Amino acid sequence: MKKAFLTLVMLLCTVSLAMAEETEKATTKDGKPYFEASETVTAQATVLDVNKSNRAIKMRTEKGDTISVTAGPEVKNFAQIKKGDVVKMKYTEKLTVHVEAAGAPEVTDETTMATAKEGEKPKASITQKTEYKATILSIDKEKGTVTLKGMDGAEYEVTPKHPENLDLVKVGELVVFTYTETVAASVEKVKK
């Protein structure tokens, strides 16, 4: 399901490239640097035709492009999709960076999914979250860099966007990078 769903969303968002919203903020939390950036892309398409025998859906994007998609068996409640319905897509990427007390570097991955209940119009969302923790090995204020070491032993020299944050961190602390992708799609009946 994940692959087919992501393919549909990327196809609609690429063909339509409807609306994109970006945000970014840098601040401190508990006296430590904190950075957050996100981007959200939304798109929609109107259902022109539904072929129930081969589960094909023909749609027109907001820009007027016509696309055809085949819905796999994992698309619940396919029979609920009708001509004139609107398929709405939302894709969000978010990155946060913060500093924690000393600890062990690690990488964690988490995936969550939600789908439509029986009898509802088709909808689904999937969120993938990766958290990467790296230890601060050294701080070079003259160069404006920090050397980080991940759990795999790889070392990276990083230049912070805000060099004044080098005064707020210490060798041994963890820099935590959290990257989250969320994709949501829903089929909605157009209100008359």
Q: Give, as one character, the DSSP assignment of residue 63.
A: T
Note the pLDDT of residue 8: 47
Neighbour-count burial for 133-163, b at 16+ CB within 10 Å, e otherwise? bbbbeebeeeeebbbbebeeeeeeeeebeee
Question: Whose CA is closest to 126, among 190, 186, 49?
Answer: 186
Please tell me the distance from the alpha carbon of residue 148 to that of residue 157, in angstroms, as a whole number. 6
Per-residue pLDDT of the chain (192 residues; tens, 9 = 90+): 444 444 444 444 444 445 567 888 888 898 999 999 999 988 899 999 999 999 999 999 888 889 888 887 778 888 889 999 998 989 999 999 999 999 999 999 999 998 888 888 888 889 999 999 999 999 999 999 999 999 999 999 999 888 899 999 999 999 999 999 998 888 888 776
Note the pLDDT of residue 75: 81
| Range(s) of the domain holding residue 7 | 2-188
Report how many domains make up the chain.
Answer: 1
